[in-house]
Amino acid sequence: MKKLEVIGNIGKINMKYTPEGKAVTEFTVAVNEGSGEKKTTEWVKAVAWEKAGELINQYAGVGSKIFISGKCKVETWNDKSSGEARASLVITVRDFEFLNSKKLEQAGPDVGDGDNIW
């Protein structure tokens, strides 16, 4: 199994339910490297299922710092406008930890008290 661990800030986030009623949250994570003019940002797509997806959607938002770990795969496709081949890294989240979350802080001290590692 290919496993990847990432620390970054959440970009877009969207939760929906499958026809079977399972929660699935899709989100992006901005991973920064370097500083100043040499700073680069890579975007990683992530998918979290069921309880993990519900918790991430409920307590994290755009800009929240998060650690995620899970199985990774590369999705490939052809760009519709240019026809160029494209690729994107996608992590299916197995473990996560909120590193800072305004929503979590507003929920109070009992929420996520050491229970935010999955």
CATH number reported for the structural domain that contains residue 8 in this entry: 2.40.50.140
| Structural domain of 92 | 3-107
Say if 28 falls within a structural domain: yes
Per-residue pLDDT, averaged over 6-29, amounts to: 96
Number of structural domains found in the chain: 1
What local confidence, expressed as pLDDT, does residue 112 receive?
46
Question: What's the Cα-to-Cα distance from 31 to each of 16, 28, 83, 102, 115, rounded to whole Å?
Answer: 24, 10, 27, 19, 24
Say if 101 falls within a structural domain: yes
Say if 7 falls within a structural domain: yes
pLDDT digits (tens, 9 = 90+) for 39-69: 999 999 999 999 999 999 999 999 999 999 9
Question: 25, 51 in Cβ contact below 8 A?
Answer: no
Say if 79 falls within a structural domain: yes
| Four-residue CA torsion sign, 7, 51, 25, 2 | positive
Please give the model's pTM, rounded to 2 decimal places. 0.80
pLDDT digits (tens, 9 = 90+) for 69-99: 999 999 898 989 999 998 888 999 999 999 9
CA max distance for the chain: 51
